[in-house]
């Protein structure tokens, strides 16, 4: 009778997880924050929380937005009806620690005319001017009258809540250099989550020639 030999296969040994010291983990965390997170927020996208009702009902206090900082600077400039997040235009009378959110009404080189609250635009394409569709404005202000001609690097911006917005009607045109970006995503409130918040459809944005 032959002796049988039992062969036992040992399980593979698992390498012990590397142990990192507190200082190694801290340095790694700081490096990620400095070289990835902060540059992303400064140059690509940044979260904002709306505080105020100047854009109501489009935006209201507490709305949480992600603002794109790249597209307008590298791909194409802002267009009419775009929503813009911008630096405070008048730090003397307002809080320089906060930023504004408004809607672009007039583009560089155009003349913006407001008469009894109605806004019209004159440019090279429409030398006789055209009236803007403001059907998205739920709270108009019908006693505004002014004429503003924009330079090649200026925009005219207004809040959707015309009756309660501090905008270009009061402090003048917005310099292009003061534009931070535009909202690409709304994360709060839950019933308003979506991309391109505040965007206006082509149907709504149609204009009427005078």
If phi > 0 it is left, if psi is from -120 to 50 it is alpha, else beta; for residue 31 that is: alpha
* Catalytic entry in 19, 21, 54, 134: 54
* Catalytic entry in 69, 98, 102, 151: 102
Write out the two tokens for 173: 């045109």
d(CA 20, CA 22): 7
What stretch of H or E contains 185? strand 179-188
Is residue 102 annotated as a catalytic residue, yes or no? Answer: yes
Is residue 54 annotated as a catalytic residue, yes or no? Answer: yes
Write out the two tokens for 94: 């307002």
Contact between 52 and 161 under an 8 Å Cβ cutoff? The reply is: no
d(CA 61, CA 50): 5
Which of these, 62, 37, 59, 34, lies nearest to 49 by C-alpha position?
62
Parallel, antiparallel or unpaired: strands 194-195 and 179-188:
antiparallel
Write out the two tokens for 112: 């913006």
Contact between 129 and 113 under an 8 Å Cβ cutoff? The reply is: yes
Residue with tokens 């730090």: 91
Sign of the Cα torsion 89, 44, 59, 147 reads: positive
Active-site residue set: 54, 102
């Amino acid at each position: 009778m032959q002796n049988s030999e039992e062969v036992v296969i040992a399980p593979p040994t698992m390498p012990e997880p590397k142990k990192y010291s507190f200082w190694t983990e801290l340095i790694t965390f700081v490096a990620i924050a400095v070289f990835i997170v902060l540059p992303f927020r400064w140059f690509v996208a940044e979260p904002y929380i709306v505080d105020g009702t100047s854009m109501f009902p489009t935006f209201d206090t507490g709305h949480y937005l992600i603002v794109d900082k790249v597209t307008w600077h590298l791909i194409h400039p802002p267009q009419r009806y775009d929503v813009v997040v911008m630096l405070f235009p008048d730090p003397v009378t307002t809080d320089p620690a906060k930023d504004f959110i408004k809607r672009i009404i007039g583009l560089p080189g155009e003349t913006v005319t407001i008469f009894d609250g109605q806004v019209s635009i004159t440019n090279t394409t429409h030398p006789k001017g055209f009236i803007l569709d403001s059907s998205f404005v739920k709270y108009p202000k019908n006693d505004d009258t002014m004429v503003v001609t924009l330079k090649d690097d200026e925009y005219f911006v207004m809040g959707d809540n015309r009756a309660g917005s501090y905008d270009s009607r009061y402090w003048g045109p917005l310099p292009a250099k003061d534009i931070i970006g535009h909202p690409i995503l709304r994360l709060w409130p839950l019933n308003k989550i979506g991309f391109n918040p505040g965007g206006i459809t082509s149907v709504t944005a149609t204009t009427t020639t005078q």
